[in-house]
Amino acid sequence: MGVSGPDTIQRPPARARKAIVGAIRAAAQPIAEPVVAILLALLVGAVGITLCSGLLAGHKNFDVGLPAAAYLALLGGVASPDGIASTLNYSTPLILAGLGVGLGFKAGLFNIGGRGQFLFGTVGAMAVATAVGVSQSSYITVPLALLAGAAFGAAAGFIPGLLKATSGAHEVVTTIMLNYVFVFVTYWAISGPLSLPNAHQPITADVTNRNAALPIILGQDGHAGILLALVAVPIIWFLLYRTTLGFEIRSAGANPDAARYGGMRTNRLIVLTMSIAGLMSGLAGATVLMGVVHQIEPGYDTTVGFDAITVALLGRSNPVGILFSGLLLGAMRAGSQTMQVQAGVPAELVDALQAIILVFLVVNALRHWLDRRAARRGSTPAVDGGAAQAAEAVA
Amino acid sequence: MTDDALDASAPALEMRGITKRYPGVVANDHIDLDVCRGEIHALLGENGAGKTTLMNVLYGLARPDEGRILLDGRQIQIAGPSDAIARGISMVHQHFMLIPVLSVAENVILGAETMSNAVFVDRHEADKRIASLAARFGFDLDPDAKVGSLSVGQQQRVEILKALYRDARILVLDEPTAVLTPGETQEIFALLRRLAADGRSIVFISHKLYEVLEVADRITVIRRGRVIGERKPAETTEEELAELMVGREVELTVDRGESHVGEPVLRVEGLRVADDRHHEVVPGATFEIRAGEILGVAGVAGNGQDELVQALIGLRRCLGGKVTLLGRDVTGLSPRGLNEAGVGYVPGDRHRFGLILAFPVYDNLILTSYYRPPFARGLMRNDSAILESAAAQIERYDIRTPSARVLTSTLSGGNQQKVVVAREFDREVKLLILDQPTRGLDVGSIEFIHRQIIAKRDAGTAVLLVSAELDEVMEMSDRIVVMYRGRMVAELDGRTADKGDVGLLMATGGQAAATQKEAWA
């Protein structure tokens, strides 16, 4: 930054330049970390691809051009009408569940129960489709099934929330354990109450036959669930930054002691936040059922619950950030098949990339957490007025 | 700096014309400072005056825009902290840079290990040096004790030992007493005097006037980045130093004036509270505060004051007894319930309870009233009302901040505290509970906050003031109760009480005062 003191009068061009630089910095600052994590992951992935091309059995030389070819194929797989529809289909549950996980993060809650909440939401939607789908038109069945998915997901989030609020049981432990519970609840549901009569295996009906399929709005299979995800982003943003509940959630996450002293009912907040997080994951489950898979088959499971954690971290728990990170991870999934076919690089590379991104993000988050903890241990931060004003000048 | 020879008559350290600019502010404006051998030189200034910046320049953490630094008369460039240490300049930060799981000796040698060979540390040699240093300067430290198990005062001595182990000739201490008890403060002063007698130079950064007068050989006062004056303790007074520091006449003791006492507001009867380890540290507190009076609670820290206050604001469960606010039983109410019943609270630990540092100033100004109109409209936040009110409070409470949107963590300690005070004083409260309201603040901020407390009292609020600073309790209170092992052992008139008597009661619980207790119970 410049070295001019407050008593030096700045000429307009200098001031304008400073303002522009300041604006760019302000815009770049929050996204710098995720972008660096993504670029580093792509770099590590490229190294990995090159090494595999030379070291694996049946390969003779290191193919230095392969990473570029793979990434281009990945991009090519996304950049077509069907690729875009597929990207959106993959992104929809990631954004929805990611918003839920991000909301939890804002409140200082680590919801790992996305898997169970997603599955229970799927069961809820299927239950409605099974129960009312034959007699009612899709105008009634679809909204009802979505609502049921949301409600079942919320119930699945409510349980760990209640456990934490009443007994202090940590949500990381309870949500992981509940994941297994809901996996088996799902198996029970498709082999019991939701099973298709006279089928050879435990399987549910097809939602298309129950007037519960989401309408296709884009390309061959781009379903309407994406609209839901796009609408959810501003809703969650509004909840966080424009309502008193959002203020409570953010306060409880940033400083639980101060929130409690400020008169916030933190136990109620925990239950509410976990329920909303579960609601979002349940909704994600419902959209996947009604828009993509259409029926619950034996062994049906999801990775959305865990992928949503990466999405939320990559989006820094900010709804708009989650929208973009959800789209990015969705695009990687959508393009992975094309990459496998065209460049011969396994589609699972995408899983690896996602994991590497997560590692970089977590390492950084850990560093911040340690810094904050160190700062908290001292009594007064050694920030003087100069630093305060410098910080404002940069912001 | 013309000659290469060591100039014995030159000061150990000279800083000439040091200027450091940050965007929008000149943190150091041509500061001159010289420190002689064997001298304790105090650097006095308000929070944000530029003391820390100057020392960061000396320690190589900040590069000055102008000016030079001379060590023993020879000009030097300091590239960074390790360079500074190599030149014999060491710094003891407010936040200790110690590793709790390592022993004292391990912490001391960390980064300056004496090696017996390329691989192994010569612990024997290191232990010998540590022992001889400790003996020479009278450190009372067990070299094998884990640092995490030491008291704050002992940890600070480890930091000093670390500096001595690195042959520090110039030792900078950044507000070393901020975290110490009065007893520990006296010990550290004695140690500093021994170090000075050994020919080492000490720069002592502080904003506490009486400390500076007590320990320093020379005092340099800086204000807004400039050197305002230099004094010898014998030739100056607290009043003069305060005026130099703040730039105007400061009332070190705010005139509390007459109090006009009204109806009882808070009545506490036989309140019993336990600490986190389930020890009943308050076995039965009984007192009353009336409208328009300040009740001061004096007591050595750890005599149940924290637990009592936490119980009164709903953060800690009451095991027994009764709390009545304006005739209404409020025992066991939640923080929100007490808040709505008219209790305001300024917590002792503003970073833990008082503020959310990661939030902007305007969010912190509504932390206890965010859900009420005009700040909330139904379930929505009313941001325009929040910002409008924040602007007014910043103005009225003289909170020095570039804007209400700045993160609270970037404000100085005094201004952070003013945010808490503004929030709690600016709403309709019947009872104000103030826990160490001026801890760590400079004289200007203390004066301001004391005035606000008096104003609140005169407006008919009942005030409970808990403070470890006996002077504060003595100067502000209309009535004083002394708390000893969780009991109110004495009550005195705030205007006539003798400081020595109160100190004795605090230390012993005052069997002699038992009769006085009967008189008011």
pLDDT value at position B296?
Answer: 94
For B416, the closest chain A residue by CA position comes to A380
Could you tell me where the DSSP H helices lie in A200-348? 225-242, 244-254, 256-261, 266-288, 304-314, 319-343
| Confidence band, pLDDT 50/70/90 cuts, at residue B176 | confident
Q: Which two tokens stand for residue B393?
A: 């409070």
**Domain B13-246 shares a fold with domain B264-342+428-520:** yes
pLDDT value at position A317?
Answer: 92
Helical pair A81-106 and A66-78, crossing angle rounded to 10 deg: 90
pLDDT value at position A389?
Answer: 36
Give the separation between CA B246 and CA B44, rounded to whole angstroms.
11
Beta-sheet pairing, B431-435 with B462-466 = parallel
Give bridge partners of residue B346 from the DSSP assignment: B434
Give the separation between CA A111 and CA B394, rounded to whole angstroms.
39
Which one-letter amino acid corresponds to residue B301? A
- How many angstroms from the chain centroid is the CA of residue B183? 15
Query: DSSP code of B115?
Result: B
pLDDT digits (tens, 9 = 90+) for B119-169: 777 778 888 888 888 888 888 788 888 888 887 788 888 988 888 888 889
Q: Are B502 and B319 in contact (CB under 8 A)?
A: no
**Coil vs helix vs strand at A310:** helix
**Is the model's pLDDT at A151 over the cut of 60?**
yes
pLDDT value at position B200?
Answer: 92
| Confidence band, pLDDT 50/70/90 cuts, at residue B32 | very high
Query: DSSP code of B514?
Result: H
pLDDT digits (tens, 9 = 90+) for A106-118: 999 999 999 999 9
Residue A42 CB coordination number (10 Å) = 15
A150 exposure class (CB count in 10 Å sphere: 0-12, 13-18, 19+):
buried
Choose the mutation target among B309, B364, B367 for the interface with A, i.e. most A CBs under 10 Å.
B367
Q: In this structure, what are the phi and psi dihedrals at residue B262, rounded to the nearest 5 degrees?
A: -115, -140
Query: Candidates 3.20.20.70, 3.40.50.2020, 3.40.640.10, 3.40.50.300; correct CATH number of B264-342+428-520?
Result: 3.40.50.300
| Residue A258 at interface with chain B, using a CB cutoff of 8 Å | yes
| Residue A373 at interface with chain B, using a CB cutoff of 8 Å | no
**Is the model's pLDDT at A387 over the cut of 60?**
no
> Under CATH, what is the fold of the domain B13-246?
Rossmann fold (3.40.50)
Interface A-B, measured as beta-carbon pairs within 8 A, has a size of 159
pLDDT value at position A382?
Answer: 34
CA proximity to B47, closest of B417, B345, B422? B417
Q: Which two tokens stand for residue B483?
A: 């708390």
Contacts of A265 in chain B (CB under 8 A): 334, 336
**Coil vs helix vs strand at B427:** coil
Q: Most confidently modeled of A7-21, A47-61, B145-159, B208-222? A: B208-222
Domain boundaries, chain B: 13-246, 264-342+428-520, 360-423
Q: A67-76, B49-58, B499-508: which range is least confident on average?
A: B499-508
CA distance B25 to chain A (A): 6
Is A255–B403 a contact, with Cβ atoms under 8 angstroms apart? no
| Confidence band, pLDDT 50/70/90 cuts, at residue B5 | very low
**Is the model's pLDDT at B516 over the cut of 60?**
no
Task: Please provide the size of chain B in residues.
Answer: 521
Nearest to B370 among A244, A260, A380 (CB): A244
**Is the model's pLDDT at B6 over the cut of 60?**
no
Nearest to B47 among A4, A5, A384 (CB): A384
For B335, the closest chain A residue by CA position comes to A263
Choose the mutation target among B410, B433, B436 for the interface with A, i.e. most A CBs under 10 Å.
B410
CA distance A370 to chain B (A): 14
| Confidence band, pLDDT 50/70/90 cuts, at residue A1 | very low
Structural element, H or E, at residue B92: strand B89-92
For A252, the closest chain B residue by CA position comes to B356
**Is the model's pLDDT at A5 over the cut of 70?**
no
User: Which bin fits B476, alpha (ψ -120 to 50), beta or left (φ > 0)?
Assistant: alpha
| Confidence band, pLDDT 50/70/90 cuts, at residue B188 | confident
For A241, the closest chain B residue by CA position comes to B381
Q: Are B346 and B433 in contact (CB under 8 A)?
A: yes
| Confidence band, pLDDT 50/70/90 cuts, at residue A370 | confident
Query: DSSP code of B217?
Result: S
**Strand residues in chain A grouped as ranges (E):** 216-218, 222-223
Q: Are B165 and B133 in contact (CB under 8 A)?
A: yes
Per-residue pLDDT averaged across B95-105, rounded? 84
Nearest to B25 among A250, A251, A386 (CB): A386
Is B440–A380 a contact, with Cβ atoms under 8 angstroms apart? yes
pLDDT value at position B481?
Answer: 93
**Is the model's pLDDT at B29 over the cut of 60?**
yes
Per-residue pLDDT averaged across B220-238, rounded? 91
Is B315–A261 a contact, with Cβ atoms under 8 angstroms apart? yes
pLDDT value at position A394?
Answer: 34
Per-residue pLDDT averaged across B400-427, rounded? 89
Domains of chain A (ranges, CATH numbers): 31-55+62-363 (1.10.3470)
Q: Most confidently modeled of A237-246, A368-377, B18-27, B54-63? A: A237-246
- How many angstroms from the chain centroid is the CA of residue A232? 12
Percent of chain B with pLDDT over 90: 40
| Confidence band, pLDDT 50/70/90 cuts, at residue B423 | very high
Distances (CA, A) of B83 to B88, B89, B166, B352: 9, 9, 12, 36
Give bridge partners of residue B41 from the DSSP assignment: B203, B218
pLDDT value at position A57?
Answer: 61
Q: Which two tokens stand for residue A193?
A: 């109450």
Half-sphere exposure in the Cβ direction for A391 (13 Å, CA): 18
pLDDT value at position B507?
Answer: 77
**Is the model's pLDDT at A11 over the cut of 80?**
no
Distances (CA, A) of A227 to A27, A62, A82, A216, A233: 27, 44, 17, 11, 10
**Is the model's pLDDT at A81 over the cut of 50?**
yes
CA proximity to A310, closest of A47, A105, A72, A71? A105
Per-residue pLDDT averaged across B298-310, rounded? 86
